[in-house]
């Protein structure tokens, strides 16, 4: 597309652009296979050949492999560019369709060039007002599509130029200080040339992929480069466990957990390779229970951004299921507001409790607070254009993570929502530091979390040793609406707003027929 007009926008096929991007990304598999073949060839030569000629041949093969793998970030970037174009075109088409529907409802005519004129039933004054309003909407949709088209063309042109130069670039000087804030990281990244940024993605992906304040696209490229190594870490752990003869009951338990993490990683990898909307890998750590941060659609270009924090037992093994919950909210946002761009992030970058004895303590929520704070600050720092509406949603123990982070560190969020919450670490909504009226909660009438009574009602002396909540959280006097971690956020006395939920237990909030799903989407959209 070039110089997008009315007819071109109607004919535009976002799905075709998405498919083209996926085809480019699919080439990374072939690159990896050829690179592995070169590495194998080099290894065989080293084992049976020595001398100057062997050394030269080995260096040449190593160089060829480096040249081959250097194209991988560019293939990912091409996919990102076309996915971004597709997303922007989809929004523009929805806005155009809405404008045309307004015209038809007002008995206005829109011609093949996008011109708007009054139908025969209009008076002159009424017609002028109606025509002007629809014309502005049509023009805005076309201009949005045209801007997206030009941005994609510029990015692909620059990518082709870099490919022609052979991806050559010296290592950029300087790195952000350890613990640098996301705005500082963003300023550092903005000061680099495109070639220097690509060098960092290709040579220091672990650094780039983990830095809040680096744009989403670059983090996604870097973390995708690490996928193979991360999977190999899990396979190496499995080999170590299998080497123990006999493995013993503890090793058997660890092997089952490891198999679940591997299965979760493989499912996530499949989702990263395809599916809509495009997924962006913003963090991955396979150690322990496993941590992962994945965005659906690009938060840096979205009008609305949801960050979803899951609760107890969440880990790499069930990350695909948790991502599915975020996807359902995002899908509902698209249905309610097709002319707006939304993105959803699964944020599982903390050690979620595995057992009730762990979930009885706020310790893991406190540990998660700084990371969630930095992540939200990073979303603000890297966003392009007018600030997005940012919503952070916590489920179950994840709601405590969100509440404690908001209370102790502050969150770059325009709204907070808690579903199935055992309490969020505060006595009142105004302690959470978000705009008035932007704290929401939902609890199903049959959710067992409503039985999570405070320590004082469950025998304080018996529990203080395992979960010293009273001293740790210093709750005020009980009000009769207290849960384990404070005042029930779904109670009117908490000071927030309540979203209606149907029955479905502790995990049914995302069911298609549950009004809570609509409620979550409307909070994200700000409606």
pLDDT tens digits for 242-295?
887 666 777 788 889 999 999 999 999 999 988 889 999 999 999 999 999 999
Residue tagged 């404008």 (tokens): 99
Beta bridge partners of 2: none
**What's the pLDDT score for residue 477?**
40
Residue pair 280/300 in contact (Cβ under 8 Å)? The answer is: no
Average pLDDT over residues 478-485: 67
More confident residue, 359 or 169: 359
> No. of H helices and E strands in the chain?
18, 12
Average pLDDT over residues 419-448: 96
pLDDT in tens, 443-454: 999 999 987 666
Average pLDDT over residues 383-411: 97
Which residues have CB under 8 Å from 155's CB, separation 6+?
A: 77, 81
Of the listed ranges 197-206, 362-371, 458-467, 512-521, the one predicted with least confidence? 458-467
pLDDT in tens, 5-39: 889 999 999 999 999 999 999 998 888 888 888 88
**What's the pLDDT score for residue 70?**
82
474 pLDDT band (50/70/90 cuts)?
A: very low
pLDDT in tens, 37-78: 888 877 888 777 878 887 888 788 777 877 778 888 889 999
Residue pair 325/396 in contact (Cβ under 8 Å)? The answer is: no
481 pLDDT band (50/70/90 cuts)?
A: low
pLDDT at 460 over 90: no
pLDDT at 98 over 90: yes
Q: Give, for 498, the enclosing helix (H) or strand (E).
A: strand 497-498
Which residues have CB under 8 Å from 429's CB, separation 6+?
A: 439, 489, 494, 495, 496
**What's the pLDDT score for residue 168?**
66
Cα(first)–Cα(last) distance of the chain, in Å? 34
**What's the pLDDT score for residue 455?**
53
b/e code 244-278 from CB counts within 10 Å (16+ = b): eeeeeeebeebbebbebbbebbebbbebbbeebbb
Beta bridge partners of 214: 212
Task: For residue 449, give both structure tokens.
Answer: 């979390």
Strands 279-285 and 291-296 turn out to be antiparallel
pLDDT in tens, 286-311: 999 999 999 999 999 999 999 999 99
**What's the pLDDT score for residue 286?**
94
* Listed residue (101, 76, 386) closest to 220, CA to CA: 76
Greatest CA separation for the chain:
93
pLDDT at 122 over 70: no
Residue tagged 């091409």 (tokens): 78
**What's the pLDDT score for residue 469?**
41
Beta bridge partners of 482: 487
Task: For residue 464, give both structure tokens.
Answer: 């203080």
**What's the pLDDT score for residue 274?**
86
More confident residue, 524 or 110: 524
Task: For residue 280, give both structure tokens.
Answer: 């962006």
The overall average pLDDT reported for the chain is 89
DSSP assignments along 218-280, one per residue? HHHHHHHHTHHHHHHHHHHHHHHHHTSSS-HHHHHHHHHHHHHHHHHHHHHHHHHHS-SSPEE
Residue pair 264/230 in contact (Cβ under 8 Å)? The answer is: no
């Amino acid at each position: 597309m070039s110089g997008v007009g009315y007819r071109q926008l109607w004919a535009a096929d976002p799905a075709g652009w998405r498919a083209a991007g996926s085809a480019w990304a699919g080439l990374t598999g072939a690159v990896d296979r050829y690179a592995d073949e070169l590495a194998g060839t080099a290894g065989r030569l080293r084992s049976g050949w020595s001398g100057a000629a062997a050394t030269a041949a080995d260096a040449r093969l190593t160089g060829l492999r480096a040249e081959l793998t250097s194209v991988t970030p560019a293939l990912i970037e091409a996919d990102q560019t076309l996915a971004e174009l597709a997303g922007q075109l989809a929004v523009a088409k929805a806005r155009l369709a809405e404008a045309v529907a307004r015209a038809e409802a007002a008995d206005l005519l829109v011609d093949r060039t996008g011109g708007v004129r009054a139908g025969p039933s209009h008076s002159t004054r009424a017609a002028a007002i109606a025509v002007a309003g629809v014309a502005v909407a049509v023009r805005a949709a076309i201009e949005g599509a045209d801007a997206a088209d030009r941005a994609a063309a510029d990015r692909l042109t620059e990518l082709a130029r870099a490919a022609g130069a052979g991806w050559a670039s010296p290592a950029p000087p300087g790195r952000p200080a350890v613990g640098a804030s996301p705005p500082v990281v963003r300023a550092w990244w903005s000061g680099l040339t495109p070639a220097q940024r690509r060098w960092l993605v290709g040579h220091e992906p672990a650094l780039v992929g983990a830095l809040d304040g680096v744009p989403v696209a670059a983090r996604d490229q870097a973390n995708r480069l690490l996928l193979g190594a991360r999977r190999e870490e899990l396979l190496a752990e499995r080999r170590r466990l299998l080497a123990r003869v006999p493995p013993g009951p503890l090793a058997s338990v660890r092997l089952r957990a490891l198999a679940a993490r591997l299965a979760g990683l493989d499912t996530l990898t499949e989702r990263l390779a395809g599916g809509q909307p495009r997924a962006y890998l913003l963090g991955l750590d396979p150690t322990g229970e496993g941590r992962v941060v994945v965005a659906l659609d690009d938060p840096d270009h979205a009008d609305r951004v949801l960050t979803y924090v899951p609760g107890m037992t969440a880990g790499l093994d069930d990350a695909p299921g948790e991502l599915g919950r975020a996807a359902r909210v995002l899908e509902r946002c698209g249905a309610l507001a097709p002319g707006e761009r939304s993105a959803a992030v699964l944020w599982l970058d903390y050690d979620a409790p595995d057992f009730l004895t762990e979930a009885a303590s706020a310790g893991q929520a406190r540990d998660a607070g700084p990371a969630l704070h930095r992540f939200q600050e990073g979303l603000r720092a890297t966003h392009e254009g007018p600030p997005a509406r940012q919503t952070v949603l916590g489920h179950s123990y994840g709601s405590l993570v969100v509440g404690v982070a908001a209370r102790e560190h502050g969150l770059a969020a325009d709204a907070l929502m808690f579903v199935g919450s055992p309490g969020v670490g505060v006595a009142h909504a105004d302690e959470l530091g978000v705009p008035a009226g932007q704290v929401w909660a939902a609890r199903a009438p049959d959710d067992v979390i409503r039985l999570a009574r405070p320590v004082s009602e469950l025998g304080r002396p018996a529990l203080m040793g395992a979960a010293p909540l009273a001293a740790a959280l210093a709750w005020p006097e009980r009000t009769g609406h207290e849960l384990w971690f404070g005042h029930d956020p779904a109670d009117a006395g908490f000071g927030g707003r309540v979203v209606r939920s149907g029955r479905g237990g502790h995990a049914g909030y995302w069911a298609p027929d549950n009004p809570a799903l609509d409620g979550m989407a409307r909070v994200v959209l700000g409606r």
